[in-house]
Amino acid sequence: MNKEVKYQSERVTLLAGVASGQEKVIQLDASFDRVVGYTVHSVSQDADDKFSLGLTNRIGVLQDRTFQNDHIADTSVPMDKRFKEIYAKADGNQITIQVEPVEALTADLIIDVVFKLEKDHKGC
């Protein structure tokens, strides 16, 4: 069975001075069957600003909230190995991205959360 893969990116922004968590609800592409992984890219972040990130859906926790080092892969890691495995039905379902700074941000924090989606091609 052949699989089609799509990468769906969602940007999360927390403004400087924010000290509390933020949730962003995103809609997964309805034409894909499942989400099988995710990765996080720091777009803009002060070196002193640290955060935790977690993922949930309507069924429960997909990824417990943990510190950024658990999510952002080192550049020495090959691109195809930077995705952390998760498994959830895509099919138009929602995922909540939870981001919480450790303390008040000194600068705007902008991250991209990239989801790896798959779709089966039956009969191929």
Query: CATH no. for residue 47?
Result: 2.60.120.380
- Tally the domains of the chain: 1
Per-residue pLDDT tens digits for 80-121: 777 888 999 998 899 999 999 999 999 999 999 999 999 987
What's the chain's Rg over C-alpha atoms? 15
pLDDT of residue 42: 84
Structure-block tokens of residue 85: 């495995």
Minimal CA–CA distance to 10: which of 40, 48, 54? 40
pTM > 0.85:
yes
Structure-block tokens of residue 2: 């052949």
- Helical H runs in 1-124? none
pLDDT of residue 37: 92
- 104: containing domain: 2-121
Overall average pLDDT of the 19-42 stretch:
92
22/34 Cα distance (integer angstroms):
25
